[in-house]
Structure 1
Amino acid sequence: MKKLINDPSIVVREMLEGVVALSPETILLADENVVIQSDLPEPARRKVAVLSGGGSGHEPAHAGYVGRGMLTAAVAGDVFTSPSTDAVLAGIRAASGPAGALLIVKNYTGDRLNFGLAAELARAEGIPVEIVVVADDVALRETVPADRRRGIAGTVLIHKLAGAAAEQGLPLEEVARSARSASEQLSSMGISLGPCTLPVVGKPGFSLGEQEIEIGLGIHGEQGVRRMPIAPVDQLVSLVLETIEADGRLKSGDRVVLLVNGLGATPPMELSIVARSALAALESKGVSVERAWAGTLLSALDMPGFSLSILHVDIRSLELIDAPTSADAWPGGGAVNRNRVLPSLGSAEGPIESRRISPAGKRLQRTAQAVAIALIAAEAHLTELDSITGDGDLGASMKRGAEAVLALPDAAFADVAGGLMAMGDALRRAIAGSSGPFYAAALLRASRQLAGIETPTSAEMAGAFSAAVQAVSDLGGAKAGDRTMIDALRPAADAFVASLAQGQPTREAWQEAIAAGILGAEATKAMRPRLGRASYLGDRAIGHPDGGAVAVTVWLKAIGAA
């Protein structure tokens, strides 16, 4: 286990100290793990206090939601453990006044017991207290009664509604009524791709097969209600929404807000893909999504996965959702873009005219197809090489470029110059990384070199090859010895030119080019990288060939075979 901690026994306190240090509007109680607003007026002038909390490990919940317009205080227990009754009571005393306090409790036994007992003790001291229990986990619809379901990520939306109602100065009964009504209109469900690791345990809470996921898990590292093979995001989102529908909580004409929540180790890229899928699915069902957010709002430590929360809203509840808050972790905004795609303005390049294909153009097409097939076959090898000294995308980039070349119509190869131009344009569009511009520049310069020549000679092709290599060098600034594709390209081009000049037949001259390219790529093993991502590794790259140079040898050999 690798964790950025000092001592597993004090992670909660040190975490809260860090949260408060970065949030001037909050302060930490000296004797309890309770974060409260630091600018509260004297008790007699305070509005209804809204408190929540539970076990730690759900960051940014709950301390991240302390701020005007959201939580007045957050009570933190140990990781995945309910806070003590004394801690909750300390929070009530520190945050509330005669207007009283609302406790928002996720539906777990420990939380209900400790928050409930603290509420009784506070009432005995004369502090009015109401409790709202959130039980939004629809994954348990066939397992336990509705009032025994777990409280999970949708609880954050209840924090927002209740905090906004309290900030408006409403009495405790009204604040509690708003929160209770919203919690009854809330549905959530989670899917996990793997377990999480508790700091004090040091190992994952359960194990999953490489292709397995957990369906309907909670937020404490526990397993779900069932296990299934991994599936595309669209299918997983449909599974969650179908479960909510089956629970009678979703139909055409509903107005809702959507929360796409990461469980701790899900990158924003994947959460955005989930959000895209969920919005499209809800809209296709005739559901109006009034607001939506995607991010890690209530986590389960470092668990990979997501949950969806859907809250039915009306004008009043939407007003509370939109109300301002100073809580650091609330994402704000939430407006849904209804106009998401700008129609294509068309290409500046006209369509490829249908015309007679020259024999040389046809030979170029066959050769290009052979090269493409070879690069696709080499994807895994190129990916492995690039993962050692780069970012691991070379194999996929070469495959995308190859597929783009294979998709070119016959008419693109009417002549050699036109075919090279068409391939350059295809690679420019297909490959967004550095390989795309390099190969596009090379092919475009070669095309210009051969413009107007219907059947280029071997010497003219060799000249175009050299010009193409120079284009790569001009664009990227690389030269021989920098440990780049140039280290295979330059010797191959030079060998081809020299062999032809010595009178060797074209086939033999190209074999010389292949051999020189392979030697050049092999030589990169001993080179210290000077350009590109590999340069960041310094001497650690030595001993491994440059992936871009090896890719050159793949297509050099494919041309020879063709």
Structure 2
Amino acid sequence: MVPPAKKFINNPNDVVTEFIEGLVETYPGLQYLDGLPEIKVVLRADVSAANYDKVAVISGGGSGHEPAQAGYVGEGMLTAAICGDVFASPTVDSILAGIRAVTGPKGCLLVVTNYTGDRLNFGLAAEQAKTEGFDIETVIVGDDCALPPPRGVAGRRGLAGTVLVHKVAGAAAAAGLSLAEVAAEAKHASEMVGTMGVALSVCALPGQVTSDRLGPEKMELGLGVHGEPGAAVVDIQPVEVVVSHVLQQILSPETNYVPITRGNSVVLMINGLGGTPLMELMIAAGIAVPKLQLEYGLAVDRVYTGSFMTSLDMAGFSISIMKADQSILERLDAPTNAPSWPVGTDGSRPPAKIPVPLPFRSTKNEESLYRPQELSQQGRILEAAIEAAATVVINLKDSLNEWDGKVGDGDCGSTMCRGATAILEDMKKYYPLNDAAETVSEIGSSIRRVMGGTSGIIYNLLCKAAYAELKANSQSETTSKHWSEALKSSISAVSKYGGATAGYRTMLDALIPASKVLEEKLSVGEDPIAAFVLSAEAATAGAESTIHMKAQAGRSSYVSAEIFASIPDPGAMAAAAWYSAAARAVKEQRQRF
């Protein structure tokens, strides 16, 4: 028997009730009707039917789409939200209770997503409320653009564009408009918006097993927010391809889902479906905006990115595009204290990017900023060593990521590869290779520019300390003893600021043995090249010895010791690899002279 999907819940039957209780504890401006679990209504704490002198705006539907709809209850947006069970339309009694609780003499607008259950239950509640003397109008929102336009009685599904309609209706009501005027603005907004979603997984309902309908290499275009099948199941594509397809579907002149043409102003909403990281949503937004501007000739006046109408834990996102005249923009910009509406802007924005400030280089002459036209013997040796060290790190990327994925966050190889690639590129133009100290300083600059995280800081520390040691001896030609002292100073700096030393399962487990052997061999008159090669062997042995160590520094220190039984420290392996590659390259260069 397949176990249910893992979730942080108690009884699956109580999730909506407990959600509502947590919501109102979090936001003091919200209340709920004391009818749980049958009556699940969230409403503004400052509104009652007896004292409310504006049009009430009510929406709702099945739960599982949070923050929709309860998260949009607040001044300037919804007056109340009616919550059904997960993916189930709320009952007529719940809807009626909400209407009775907040509707005053100016009447009530019901904003209903276009699903059969919602239409029937809200419709019946509206008719009953009218017999009780309430003035009721209803606007149905069907913004789905994934399925072919002729949908018979069912029509287009209501998706995340509904949230924009909520905002327009709520702002119109807050401005004091009549029920007919609020309904007209809401209906107009609903006709101006189109939405299409795409998903990598189907959501798992509380207490139920996770669906395997979508295979590991598949994605679904137009998957419904309740997990219902969409337009097509296709192979996973890069997000740029996905965004292009979705925009084309929404804006297609053949289907004419929304009346948007070149030169129009639009609002863009990138909506996460519950299991999509904000990083991925922002990537989609960054792709969609220039495409709308350059390929479709549209002015993108507002961009909203986040999770506005989800589908439990579904991995996916939807894109909504709304044609935005000045009236709609004013409604979207109007103030609201609804907890889940994003803090927006008025549309004016500075340039998206500005130049990176140039580094302060007043202590260096102009010639030191560039690669020399002719390299000295030392310059050629240094170039070969740097190239060999960087190349071996790039080639080791996948292995480093694999090791790091088992004991850390899995990005050691990718991070190191970025640094190595930058070093190779910058060396072509900027490294003053005839000056060892300044070259080491420039390596640190390359690393600092592209390598994030702890690795970037540590390698920058290495370079800074080595530079200081080499610079102190720059009056004479750089010797093997100078390099040995520079390595020793680098290790001391990393140990001082990072807190690690030998036996801590870090890169120092490779570099400390190398430094000791190099210093010992040079002190007894060993040939410098032979000493370098022997120290590289010590670095490799030190790195391999980390297989048996318990991590005491970095993120790996939080990992169980059993996991380390057969895995070397990726940082130590990387250090041993570039150190050994540099030693081999120096030996080969010396043999040529």
Contact 1:70 1:325 in 2 (8 A): yes
Q: Greater CA deviation, 221-230 or 63-72?
A: 221-230
Please say if 1:218 is aligned against 2:237. no
Deviations 1:177-219 (A, max 9, x none): 1100110111111111222111132222622333x22112221
Q: Normalising by the residue count of structure 2, what TM-score does the alignment of the two structures yield?
A: 0.89
Deviations 1:423-452 (A, max 9, x none): 222122121222223223323433444453
Question: How far apart in 1 are the matches of 2:430 and 2:106?
Answer: 79
Please point out which of 510, 515, 525 is paired with 1:493: 515
Question: Which residue does 2:358 correspond to in 1?
Answer: 346
Q: Greater CA deviation, 454-463 or 482-491?
A: 454-463
Contact 2:251 2:260 in 1 (8 A): yes
CA drift at 1:473: 2.5
Q: Normalising by the residue count of structure 1, what TM-score does the alignment of the two structures yield?
A: 0.93
Deviations 1:210-253 (A, max 9, x none): 3x221122211223211233333332222222122214433222
Question: How far apart in 1 are the matches of 2:268 and 2:225?
Answer: 18
CA drift at 1:138: 1.1
Task: Give secondary structure in 1 for the equivalent of 2:146.
Answer: helix
Please point out which of 438, 444, 459 is paired with 2:458: 438
Please say if 1:502 is aligned against 2:521. no
Task: Give secondary structure in 1 for the equivalent of 2:373.
Answer: coil
Question: How far apart in 2 are the matches of 1:311 and 1:109?
Answer: 24
Please say if 1:22 is aligned against 2:1. no
Question: How far apart in 1 are the matches of 2:13 and 2:154?
Answer: 34
Question: Which residue does 1:274 correspond to in 2?
Answer: 284
Please point out which of 318, 321, 341 is paired with 2:329: 318
Percent sequence identity over matched residues? 43
Question: How far apart in 1 are the matches of 2:160 and 2:77?
Answer: 16
Q: 1:453 to 1:367 in 2, by over 3 A?
A: farther
Task: Give secondary structure in 2 for the equivalent of 1:74.
Answer: strand
CA drift at 1:512: 2.7
CA drift at 1:28: 1.6
Please say if 1:467 is aligned against 2:489. yes
The letter of the residue matching 1:236 is V
Question: How far apart in 1 are the matches of 2:490 and 2:100?
Answer: 76
Question: How far apart in 2 are the matches of 1:409 and 1:179?
Answer: 60
Across the two proteins, how many residue pairs are aligned to each other?
561
The letter of the residue matching 2:306 is G
CA drift at 1:492: 1.0
CA drift at 1:541: 6.3
Q: Greater CA deviation, 465-474 or 400-409?
A: 465-474
Question: How far apart in 2 are the matches of 1:74 and 1:443?
Answer: 59
CA drift at 1:401: 1.0
Task: Give secondary structure in 2 for the equivalent of 1:160.
Answer: helix
After TM superposition, list the pairs within 5 Å mapping 1:323-472 onto structure 2.
323-336=334-347, 337-349=349-361, 351-352=369-370, 354-407=372-425, 408-409=427-428, 412=431, 413-451=433-471, 452=474, 456-472=478-494
Q: Greater CA deviation, 217-226 or 501-510?
A: 501-510
Please say if 1:184 is aligned against 2:195. no
Q: 1:312 to 1:456 in 2, by over 3 A?
A: same
Question: How far apart in 2 are the matches of 1:410 and 1:275?
Answer: 35
Please say if 1:555 is aligned against 2:578. yes
The letter of the residue matching 1:556 is Y
Contact 1:260 1:309 in 2 (8 A): yes
Q: 1:268 to 1:462 in 2, by over 3 A?
A: same
Question: How far apart in 1 are the matches of 2:487 and 2:197?
Answer: 55
Deviations 1:394-420 (A, max 9, x none): 111110111112212166223433432
Deviations 1:39-92 (A, max 9, x none): 214436442221111111100011111112111111111111111222222222
Q: Which runs of 5+ in 2 are unaligned?
A: 586-593
Task: Give secondary structure in 1 for the equivalent of 2:453.
Answer: coil
Contact 1:416 1:454 in 2 (8 A): no
After TM superposition, list the pairs within 5 Å mapping 1:49-448 onto structure 2.
49-142=56-149, 144=151, 148-204=155-211, 206-210=213-217, 212-246=218-252, 247-248=255-256, 249-284=259-294, 285-336=296-347, 337-349=349-361, 351-352=369-370, 354-407=372-425, 408-409=427-428, 412=431, 413-448=433-468
Contact 2:533 2:584 in 1 (8 A): no
Q: 1:456 to 1:154 in 2, by over 3 A?
A: same
Task: Give secondary structure in 1 for the equivalent of 2:85.
Answer: strand
Q: Greater CA deviation, 179-188 or 504-513?
A: 504-513
Question: How far apart in 2 are the matches of 1:45 and 1:95?
Answer: 7
Contact 2:52 2:103 in 1 (8 A): no
Q: Which runs of 5+ in 1 are unaligned?
A: none
Contact 1:360 1:455 in 2 (8 A): no
* RMSD, aligned α-carbons: 2.3
Contact 1:40 1:46 in 2 (8 A): no
Question: How far apart in 2 are the matches of 1:446 and 1:36?
Answer: 65
Question: How far apart in 2 are the matches of 1:306 and 1:331?
Answer: 17
Question: How far apart in 2 are the matches of 1:517 and 1:541?
Answer: 23
Q: Greater CA deviation, 34-43 or 57-66?
A: 34-43
Q: 1:116 to 1:458 in 2, by over 3 A?
A: same
Question: How far apart in 1 are the matches of 2:444 and 2:344?
Answer: 43
Question: How far apart in 1 are the matches of 2:153 and 2:418?
Answer: 49
Contact 2:504 2:549 in 1 (8 A): yes
Deviations 1:453-472 (A, max 9, x none): 78644333333322332332
The letter of the residue matching 1:332 is V
Q: Greater CA deviation, 85-94 or 411-420?
A: 411-420
Q: Greater CA deviation, 246-255 or 133-142?
A: 246-255
Q: 1:368 to 1:47 in 2, by over 3 A?
A: same
Question: How far apart in 2 are the matches of 1:488 and 1:344?
Answer: 36
Q: 1:17 to 1:534 in 2, by over 3 A?
A: same
